[in-house]
Amino acid sequence: MSEVISATSFDQRFSSQNIFENDMSTFWMTTGLYPQELVIDLKAPHNLNELKLKSMRVKNIKIEACTDNSGSEFFEVGKKEMDNNSDSMQTEKISLTGANGIILLKIIIQEGHDDFASIHYADLI
């Protein structure tokens, strides 16, 4: 049971926990300047290959990972630049390289197509 342990934006209506629900009406939304971060605790070491992401207005995204529980050292495992789909959903698959024995995963939205961006669903494979 993975869960979000920290997020740089917090709004009770758009909780960061919503990213694990495959419901497009619920999402996590950024509420300030970029970059915005989300840290997911996987509770146990996992080997990851891919991150399926459903989002809106995200431009540049980077994924970092940490192998210990303390989160002392994150390293980059994936990166992607997304197109602007205007009002429609962005459905992307980000391949993660060298993401073995990972406990913490950080999703960093480096840039957005708009002032606000949202992540509707994140699936770790």
Using CB under 8 A as the binding rule, whether residue 12 contacts another protein is answered as yes
- Cβ closest to another protein, residue 43 vs residue 93: 43
Secondary structure of residue 96 in the 3-state scheme: strand
Using CB under 8 A as the binding rule, whether residue 16 contacts another protein is answered as yes
- Cβ closest to another protein, residue 4 vs residue 99: 4
86: amino acid identity, one letter = S
Q: How far is the CB of 33 from another protein (least distance, A)?
A: 17
Mention every residue, 6+ apart, whose C-beta is less than 8 A from residue 122: 19, 20, 40, 51, 52, 53, 54, 107
- Binding-residue total with another protein (CB under 8 A): 15
CA-CA distance, 31 to 106, in Å (whole number)? Answer: 18
Of the CA atoms within 13 Å of residue 55, those in its CB half-sphere come to 33
- Cβ closest to another protein, residue 68 vs residue 115: 68
Q: Which token pair is 2?
A: 């993975």
Using CB under 8 A as the binding rule, whether residue 90 contacts another protein is answered as no
101: amino acid identity, one letter = G
Binding mask of the shown chain, residues 56 to 85, with x at each position contacting another protein by CB under 8 A: --------------xxx-------------
Q: Which spans of this chain sit near another protein (rule: CB under 8 A)?
A: 3-7, 10, 12, 15-17, 39, 41, 70-72
